[in-house]
Structure 1
Amino acid sequence: MPTTTAPLMRVARIYAEDAALALPRGQEVVGRWPDAEVVPIASHWQIPEVHGDETNVSRWVRIKTEALVLGVKKSVVTRPNGRSADFIAPSTANGCAMACAYCYVPRRKGYSNPVTVFANIDQITRHVARHVAKQGPKTTPNQCDPEAWVYDIGENSDCSVDAMLSENVRDLCDLFRMTQTAKASFATKFVNRDLLDWDPAGRVRVRFSLMPHAVAKVTDIRTSPMSERIAAINDFVDAGYEVHVNFSPVILTPGWAEEWTALFEALDASLHARAKAQLACEVIFLTHNEQLHDVNLGWHPKAEELLWTPENQEPKLSQNGAVNVRYRYGLKSAAVAQLEALIAAKLPYCRVRYAF
């Protein structure tokens, strides 16, 4: 088992669907933690002990550390995207061992939401391979990529962490490594240096999420320090990855402009020429949610002092129909323009793929 597992996961219980245990990947996952208790479950979506029960708020981080869920993904579909990627591939996991206070996933699945590993990886990879083949070559460049179809493989989890728990992420990356018409993409807040040995041949885009250190210290719980994420970029480029950055989420603190300026200067000072030549970014401003705000008050109220600022926020109807809050229109549009100007001044080689 990779040594990077130790500080983040100490799996004591594996909640497993019978169908997942019957598959080779399910057996491999259980075999990684021979001392863990295997708890049979009917559905990975319905485990009161780990999510869906507000009494779990006080045990938020402990659950993420000690519990792992093993299931079978029922709906294996690829969806069009067009923003971060051309397509969203079927998830090979759901949930996260980290505990970022602004994460949208608990809004959907509930409370602690530890990692669920999907054991039907063979079904998922076959589906993705067929989808890639059906697209053929990309003939019209777009902001996702000028030449390749881009598939986000980590919409509901962090693939750098998932790679410590099973071979699912590597199986998908190996699939994209063998195609010249598509590439995998995932955002991460965790530096897993085991990935440096994978030889992705330029067919995997890693997007390191970055924000000012002072804000991350409050909101990015159990993640790799910002300095470690920045320091890893050159190494991942040298290992054959395409590396982009996500400036996300942008949280409008009183000194936000100065904090982001310092971050951009630190990034510029760290990157070597090859990393700079291929760099691009996404800029995503904070979207929050009243339900998540209430949950956070139960385990990490200090974060809400930064995230929940009603005087600066207004309701927003998301694409999935959820009612969230975002920064008020005039405030946000001015901040987007100011941040883009800072990127142009401090990181002139960094293409802004999109900002919202």
Structure 2
Amino acid sequence: MTELLDIRRIYLEPAAAELPRGRQVLARWPEATIVEVESHQRIPELYGDETNVRRWVRIKREALVLGVKKTLTARPNGRSADFIAPSTANGCAMACAYCYVPRHKGYSNPVTVFANIERITAYLRRHAGRQGRKPEPNECDPVDWVYDIGENSDCSVDARLSDNVHDLVTLFRDLPNAKASFATKHVNRELLAWDPRGRTRIRFSLMPPADAKVLDIRTSGIDERIAAIDDFVAAGYEVHVNFSPVVVRDGWLDDWRDLLDRLDAGVGPAARRQLAAEIIFLTHNRGLHEVNLGWHPRAEDLIWRPDLQQAKRSQNGDLNVRYRTGAKGAYVHALTTLIAERTPYLRVRYAF
């Protein structure tokens, strides 16, 4: 794991060190330099790190932030999950070129672990209890309320930093009306021993290997992710696939055909019976585009395509680009038709 994580510097909110989970994390890296900070969201050495792109991956590998989650809310979602759970971490040690989650601590966005896990799990238990039984099926799940526990991080990586994800899997294992869900690009086989009893859904993100080689930096290989699916199903997880982001380029549909054939060859009957897919076409951001030009310009040749994209102003004022209306509908239709041909058992939950 030293290639992905080699923690040498921990930015610490002092209150986190007073909690059992905070002490656990500090004990894992006793040689790390401790830098006390007032807030996990305001760290001068990290905020503005987009101006120092040469340290981009080094920051992700060597820096960890340890803080306390102040506000706990479960936001309604309704597409991938019914609710977005309060984060037990944010940021990532991986460096996908299209990542949309960089926050106030800078675009490099190393992992922040929140130490007040007991408060977060207690909140989720109460929230799920208030929901009662799901009154009718929806595209999230036919029976249970689904909580996305990894909106702002990759839980498979987070599990290498603390026991927070294990505690969440344990929590949902015992909830009668709710299940956890998270997308991942990292195969962490330590999760296979956790006995989730079908109450955690893992969504392995997949894209053609040619795209992943350029865009999915510091992640598990596509074939490794596919090879893990049967093992995670056998270990008691519900496993879906997340086709995200879909990148349109010359030959893109041929490469997706090859990927679907790899998936078909790589999973057995048990996985096929419960497999479903989410499809998300690329959305990119002008600010991230400018940053990427400083550390990974080759990626921008794939994902910054003004000839194919149109601009859209987001709610926070950022300028995003996505594939042009009309053309995008044709792309979606082409891919979903291909899925029906090559992997007819693969239910498409939604595509946009």
Aligned to 2:293: 297
Show the counterpart of 2:97.
101
**Structure 1 runs not aligned, ≥5 long:** none
Q: Segments of 4+ in structure 1 off by > 2 A?
A: 50-56, 106-110, 316-323
Q: Give me the whole-angstrom Cα distance separating, in 1, the residues matched to 2:246 and 2:85.
A: 26
Secondary structure, in 3 states, of the residue corresponding to 2:166? helix
TM-score scaled by length of structure 1? 0.97
How far apart are the structure 2 equivalents of 1:20 and 1:289? 33
The answer to whether structure 1 residue 240 and structure 2 residue 236 are counterparts is: yes
* Aligned residue type for 1:49: E
Deviation at 1:40, TM superposition (A): 0.5
The Cα offsets for residues 115-156 of structure 1, whole Å up to 9 and x where unpaired, read as 000011111001000000000111200000000000000000
The question of 1:339 aligning with 2:335 is answered: yes
Equivalent residue number for residue 141 of structure 2: 145
1:320 to partner: Cα distance:
5.3
Tell me whether 103-112 or 258-267 shows the greater mean CA deviation. Answer: 103-112
Report if the CA contact (8 A) 1:46-1:52 is conserved: no
- Report the counterpart of residue 130 of structure 1 in structure 2: 126
AA aligned to 2:18 is: A
Give the conservation status (yes or no) of the 8 Å contact 1:57–1:111: no
Establish whether residue 41 from structure 1 lines up as the match of residue 19 from structure 2.
Answer: no
Q: Is 1:187 paired with 2:196?
A: no
Asked if the contact 1:50/1:56 (under 8 Å) is kept, the reply is: no
Question: Residues of 1 paired with 2:111 and 2:307: CA distance?
Answer: 35
Aligned 8 A contact 1:12 1:37 in 2: yes
State the AA in 2 paired with 1:313: Q
2:191 and 2:103 map into 1 onto residues whose CA distance is 30
- Give the whole-Å Cα distance in 2 for the aligned partners of 1:52 and 1:203: 39
1:70 to 62, 66, 72: 66
Q: Does the Cα contact within 8 Å between 1:60 and 1:112 map onto a contact in 2?
A: yes
Separation (CA, whole Å) in 2 of partners of 1:344 and 1:318: 33
1:176–1:320: structure 2 CA closer, same or farther, 3 Å change rule? farther
Q: Percent identity?
A: 67
Task: Select which of 86, 89, 102 maps to 1:90.
Answer: 86
Which residue in 2 is equivalent to 1:351? 347
Letter paired with 2:9: R
Residues 262-277 of structure 1: matches in 2 within 5 Å?
Answer: 262-277=258-273
Question: C-alpha distance in 1, partners of 2:110/2:341?
Answer: 40
In the TM superposition, 1:186-265 aligns within 5 A as 186-265=182-261
Give the whole-Å Cα distance in 1 for the aligned partners of 2:159 and 2:117. Answer: 13
1:131-182: CA deviations, max 9, x gaps?
A: 0000011120000000000000000000000000000011111000001210
1:295-330: per-residue Cα shift (whole Å, max 9, x none)? 000110000000100011001244555431100012
- Give the counterpart letter for 1:129 in structure 2: R
Gaps of 5+ in 2: none
Contact 1:56 1:112 in 2 (8 A): no
| Matching residue's letter, 2:144 | A
Give the superposed CA RMSD. 1.1
Aligned equivalents of 1:299 and 1:347: distance in 2?
37
